[in-house]
């Protein structure tokens, strides 16, 4: 017999290292003598889209296209330290460092333009498509190349996240900032004869602060949900007396595209007051609610609560038999 059930789970996640630990990112912005724009930062790109986000932030501030940004990262001989690609911190921490560097570079460009155009101040100057121009009189303009033909413009900025170490006696403090929130709902189908569990539908509501790149966010949600599904239903290293038995993909099962359902993805925007353009980090939060939502749905379907994962077909059948012995439905 196949039974269906629904379950939800919610989570909150603190960005960065937290608990008073110095969480520092540095970034350098440069316009070379030929007018090319460079961003140097030690942030590691591991598929989360950091390079894309940093280029978008820089392009927005300097009034250029993302393809105009030359991005240099993962090279300790050239780039300033930006901390690890961990704790969902790169968009928030390093994004803020990149934003500060781009803003400083913008300010330097406008100061150079003020002198070049013989203006009273930088007030009213705008940057667009490699030009600095006076908004009220656009003919009053100068190209980036003209401003840097004699000397390269280089600025470096640092961003340090604000966290407060928790009091050891009272437990009070502000260990993380900002917090990311999410709530997932799933529908599952449990085959009581084979023990197989299929997740047939999912709804993922994810707080992102401000969606700098909605497509990347949806991709993160898809990947995070798949990881959570594998965590809850399949992945088992088979640890026994310190030995990992499932040490290859032949016996360590992970979800495929056939295991992941169609997901309804809801992006919730509530800008963070301290994030770059209001953005928050969502790298890890997108995975957290998936497994508990699935376990809650299993309970709704067959009335059995599982406290150990993964919930494999074998464990389902054993649990059903035990419940029948105890006279439960």
Closest CA to 60 of 279, 240, 208, 272: 279
Q: Which residues contact 75 (CB under 8 A, 6 or more apart)?
A: 42
Residue 16 CB: number of other CB atoms within 10 A?
Answer: 24
Q: Which residues contact 192 (CB under 8 A, 6 or more apart)?
A: 1, 2, 3, 302, 316, 320
Structure tokens at 71: 């991005």
User: What is the distance between the alpha carbons of residues 205 and 221, in angstroms, rounded to a whole number?
Assistant: 9
Q: Exposed, middle or buried by CB within 10 Å (0-12, 13-18, 19+), for 213?
A: middle
Beta-sheet pairing, 153-160 with 24-31: antiparallel
Residue 264 CB: number of other CB atoms within 10 A?
Answer: 11
Residue tagged active-site, from 65, 284, 308, 314: 284
- Confirm whether 157 is a catalytic residue: no
**Within the chain, what is the greatest distance between any pair of CA atoms?**
90
User: What is the distance between the alpha carbons of residues 287 and 300, in angstroms, rounded to a whole number?
Assistant: 21
Q: Is the bond preceding residue 153 a cis peptide, omega within 30 degrees? A: no
Closest CA to 4 of 222, 261, 226, 227: 261
User: What is the distance between the alpha carbons of residues 165 and 191, in angstroms, rounded to a whole number?
Assistant: 48
> Catalytic residue numbers?
284
């Amino acid at each position: 017999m196949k039974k269906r059930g629904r379950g939800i789970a919610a989570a909150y996640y603190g960005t960065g290292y937290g608990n008073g630990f110095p969480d520092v990112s540095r970034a350098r912005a440069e316009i070379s003598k030929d007018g090319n724009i460079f961003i140097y930062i030690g942030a590691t790109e591991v598929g989360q889209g950091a390079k894309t986000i940093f280029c978008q932030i820089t392009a927005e501030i300097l009034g250029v296209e993302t393809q105009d940004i030359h991005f240099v990262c993962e090279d300790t001989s050239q780039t300033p330290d930006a901390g690890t690609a961990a704790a969902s911190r790169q968009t928030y921490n390093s994004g803020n460092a990149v934003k500060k560097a781009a803003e400083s570079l913008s300010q330097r460009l406008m100061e150079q333009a003020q002198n070049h155009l013989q203006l009273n101040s930088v007030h009213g100057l705008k940057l667009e498509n490699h030009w600095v121009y006076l908004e009220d009189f656009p003919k009053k303009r100068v190209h980036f190349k003209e401003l840097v033909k004699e000397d390269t413009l280089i600025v470096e900025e640092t961003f340090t996240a604000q966290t407060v170490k928790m009091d050891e006696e009272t437990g009070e403090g502000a260990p993380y900032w900002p917090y990311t929130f999410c709530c997932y709902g799933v529908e599952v189908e449990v085959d009581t004869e084979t023990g197989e569990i299929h997740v047939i539908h999912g709804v993922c509501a994810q707080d992102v602060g401000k969606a700098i790149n909605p497509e990347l966010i949806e991709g993160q949600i898809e990947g995070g949900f798949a990881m959570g599904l594998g965590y809850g239903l399949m992945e088992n290293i088979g640890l026994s007396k310190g030995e990992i038995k499932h040490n290859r993909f032949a016996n360590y099962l992970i979800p495929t595209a056939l295991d992941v359902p169609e997901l309804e993805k809801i992006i919730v925007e509530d800008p963070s007051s301290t994030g770059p353009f209001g953005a928050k980090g969502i790298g890890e939060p997108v995975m957290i609610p998936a497994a508990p939502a699935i376990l809650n749905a299993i309970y709704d379907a067959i009335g059995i609560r599982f406290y150990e994962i993964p919930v494999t077909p074998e464990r389902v059948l054993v649990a059903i038999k035990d419940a029948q012995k105890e006279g439960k439905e």
